[in-house]
Amino acid sequence: MAGSRHFFYLVLLNALINVINNVPRTLINHRFQDVMTSLVLSVPVGLLMLYFTSRSVMKLRDETLPERLYRLLPHWAALPVLLGFAFVWYMAGAITLLSFVDITLRYISPDMSKYLVMSGFLAVVICSARMKSYSILFALETLTVLMVPFMMYFLGKTVLNPDFSWDAILKTVRSGWGTPTFEALSAATFIFTGYTNMAVFHRAFRGFKLKLAHLWLIAIPGVLTLLTSLLIPIGLLGTRGVEKHVYPWFSTADSVHIEFFLVERLVFVFYLFYITMSLISVIVHWHVAFHIVELLLPFKQKLKSGARSYIVIVSFALPSLAMLMMDQQTLLHLAVMYLQIRFVGEFSLSVAAVWAVRRRWAR
Q: What average pLDDT does this structure show over 84-108?
A: 92
Query: Please, which contacts does 242-249 make with residues 24 or more away whose CB atoms are closer than 8 Å?
Result: 242/28, 242/31, 243/28, 243/29, 246/25, 246/106, 246/328, 246/332, 247/19, 247/25, 247/99, 247/103, 247/106, 248/24, 248/25, 248/28, 249/19, 249/24
Do the Cβ atoms of 235 and 168 come closer than 8 Å? yes
- In 3D space, the residue among 215, 280, 207, 287 whose CA is nearest the CA of residue 3 turns out to be 207
Of 8-12, 111-115, 155-159, the least confident:
155-159
Band of pLDDT at residue 288, cut at 50, 70 and 90: very high
Q: Which range scores top for mean pLDDT: 12-21, 163-172, 211-220, 301-310?
A: 163-172
C-alpha distance from residue 297 to each of 30, 235, 291, 328 (Å): 42, 50, 10, 33
- 178 CB-contact burial (10 Å; exposed 0-12 / middle 13-18 / buried 19+): middle
Kind plus residue range of the DSSP H or E element containing 232: helix 215-237
What is d(CA 218, CA 147) in angstroms, rounded to the nearest whole number?
19
Amino acid 1 reads: M
pLDDT at 261 (0 to 100) = 62
Helix (H, G, I), strand (E, B) or coil at 296: helix
- pLDDT of 4 above 70: yes
- pLDDT of 1 above 70: no
pLDDT at 363 (0 to 100) = 44
- Per-chain mean pLDDT for the chain: 88
C-alpha distance from residue 212 to each of 194, 195, 225 (Å): 17, 15, 20
What is d(CA 36, CA 176) in angstroms, rounded to the nearest whole number?
5
pLDDT at 118 (0 to 100) = 95
pLDDT at 265 (0 to 100) = 75
Q: What average pLDDT does this structure show over 114-131?
A: 92
pLDDT at 305 (0 to 100) = 59
Band of pLDDT at residue 167, cut at 50, 70 and 90: very high
Question: Phi first, then psi: what are they for 257, rounded to 5°?
Answer: -110, 150
Q: What average pLDDT does this structure show over 217-239?
A: 91
DSSP secondary structure, 59-79, as one string: GGTTS-HHHHHHHHS-HHHHH
Q: Sign of torsion, CA 315 316 317 322? A: positive
What is d(CA 10, CA 104) in angstroms, rounded to the nearest whole number?
25
Q: Give 173's contacts (C-beta < 8 A, 6+ positions apart).
A: 36, 231
Number of Cα atoms under 13 Å in the Cβ half of residue 195: 28
pLDDT at 324 (0 to 100) = 93
- pLDDT of 6 above 80: yes
Of 31-45, 78-92, 200-214, 296-310, the least confident:
296-310
| 206 against 320, higher pLDDT | 320
pLDDT at 322 (0 to 100) = 94
pLDDT at 297 (0 to 100) = 78
For each of the domains in the chain, give its residue range(s) and CATH number, in order of start.
Answer: 4-358 (1.20.1740)
pLDDT at 260 (0 to 100) = 59
| 191 against 206, higher pLDDT | 191
- Cβ count within 10 A of residue 139: 15
pLDDT at 361 (0 to 100) = 44
Q: What average pLDDT does this structure show over 165-191?
A: 92
Q: What is the model's pTM?
A: 0.93
Band of pLDDT at residue 58, cut at 50, 70 and 90: confident
What is d(CA 8, CA 150) in angstroms, rounded to the nearest whole number?
19
Q: What average pLDDT does this structure show over 117-125?
A: 94
What is d(CA 70, CA 73) in angstroms, rounded to the nearest whole number?
6
Q: In this predicted model, what pLDDT tens digit does every residue of 299-329 receive, in sequence order?
A: 555 556 566 778 888 889 999 999 999 988 8
What is d(CA 190, CA 341) in angstroms, rounded to the nearest whole number?
11
